[in-house]
């Protein structure tokens, strides 16, 4: 399963690696493989979540915005928009 960081932290078990919001967990640049117990601890502590849950939450929050707000968010994030996308297309670009 893939995990995303939802609350940044330093991982004492991973050579004090600094994880920021949105990072993949584990980071994959070394051989560190967290135990199932470690993953459960981080999930229960609110530090990581499975990637599917994170994406579902992002989509849910984006769906609450108007099309104009989504266009503003896309502009802020410097997402290239072509033509006149639908709200669903904007959400897909921004998630």
Contact 71, 57 (CB under 8 A): no
Q: Which two tokens stand for residue 72?
A: 């503003």
E strands, the chain, in order: 3-5, 9-11, 17-19, 24-25, 48-50
| 32 burial level (CB within 10 Å; 0-12, 13-18, 19+) | middle
Q: Could you tell me which residue, 11 or 95, shows the higher pLDDT?
A: 11
State the Cα–Cα distance between residues 39 and 20, nearest whole angstrom.
16
**pTM of the shown model:** 0.67
Q: What is the pLDDT of residues 9-66, one digit of tens each?
A: 999 999 899 999 999 999 877 688 899 999 999 999 999 999 888 888 889 999 999 9
Contact 34, 26 (CB under 8 A): yes
State the Cα–Cα distance between residues 95 and 2, nearest whole angstrom.
16
């Amino acid at each position: 399963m893939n995990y995303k960081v939802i609350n940044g932290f330093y991982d004492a078990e991973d050579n004090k690696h600094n994880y920021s919001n949105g990072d993949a967990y584990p980071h994959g640049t070394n051989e560190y493989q967290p135990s199932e117990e470690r993953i459960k601890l981080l999930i229960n502590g609110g530090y990581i979540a499975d990637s599917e849950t994170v994406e579902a939450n992002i989509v849910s929050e984006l769906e609450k915005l108007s099309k104009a707000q989504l266009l503003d968010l896309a502009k802020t994030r410097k997402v290239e928009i072509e033509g006149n996308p639908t709200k669903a297309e904007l959400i897909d670009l921004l998630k």
